[in-house]
Amino acid sequence: MVRLIVTGLIIRVSSPLEAASWSATSQRRVRQLWISSSGRVSGNLANRRRDRAVGVMQKPFTREEFTKGKSTVFSTGRWSNADLSQFQKEQTTWVVKDFSPCSPMIRRTWGRFMVKRELRALLILKGIEGIPAEPFLLDVNALCYRFQPGTTLMDTPSEKINDNFFFEFEAAVQKMHQRGMVHLDIRNQRNVLVTDQGKPVILDFQSSLRLEKTPRFLHEIMKETDFSGVYKNWYKKKPETIDDDRRARLEALNRKRSFWFIRGYPLGTRTDRRS
């Protein structure tokens, strides 16, 4: 067995005579194929690295600017949840969802996982009206997106909600599903913002899932879980605007939901916030 080395390739041939038959032209052709293949591999690798870097490059501000600048914490997280801050950078206001105040164990594991998870969801849903805009990673511990003034659905009186609000909320959920995402915690009125313009914005995608990563037989169940949140809040806040078909669908979804076994926060963690 004779080994013929051609610019990084080892080609095994059966005899010296066969090796001699390799002309310079043949060797050049092999080298060209190798370079072409290497280029494609390198290009694909670069694309994957670029995709992973989305949200990290071209940040509107840095951790140092955030730390030294003027920010206001408007929600202190529980032991495993992020603090939410409002930060002004020039003429733009941002929300900073920051796990840095958590314990080192939570910050370096759960926190970093959830930051990347939520960023990925927001990037998939980018451009949909009713989804937080311009998300990026401040660093491995914090996610940022554009601030929209308003109040949570929980804190908004029914008379302050216009008649189109829940139709637009339903449409945003439909578009989210078309992008292959489910939220799974829309029933929580803290996760829905009523902007000063009366528009819905869906918040907190930490519990969201990509449909392509889940068993197909669960897809409709998870989508219906989202819609049950829309119709539940619709019925509570603006019952006079929900039609009979949606009301009947809510009743059917509530009957199915009695079999859904994942609810709430585990081990009573919902009540304890960091001081």
pLDDT category at 29 given cuts 50, 70, 90 is low
Q: Which residues of 247-266 are buried (b: 16+ CB within 10 A; e: fewer)?
A: eebbeebeeeeeeeeeeeee
To the question of pTM greater than 0.95 for the whole model, the response is no
Cβ(11)–Cβ(4) below 8 Å: yes
Alpha helix stretches (DSSP H) within 54-111 = 63-68, 104-106
Mean pLDDT of 117-135: 97
Which domains, and CATH codes, for the chain?
57-147 (3.30.200.20), 149-275 (1.10.510.10)
Residue found by looking up tokens 């339903």 in the block: 170
Mean pLDDT of 104-113: 95
Q: What is the distance between the alpha carbons of residues 1 and 17, in angstroms, rounded to a whole number?
A: 11
pLDDT digits (tens, 9 = 90+) for 210-260: 999 999 999 999 999 999 999 999 999 999 999 999 999 999 888 877 666
pLDDT digits (tens, 9 = 90+) for 159-218: 999 999 999 999 999 999 999 999 999 999 999 999 999 999 999 999 999 999 999 999
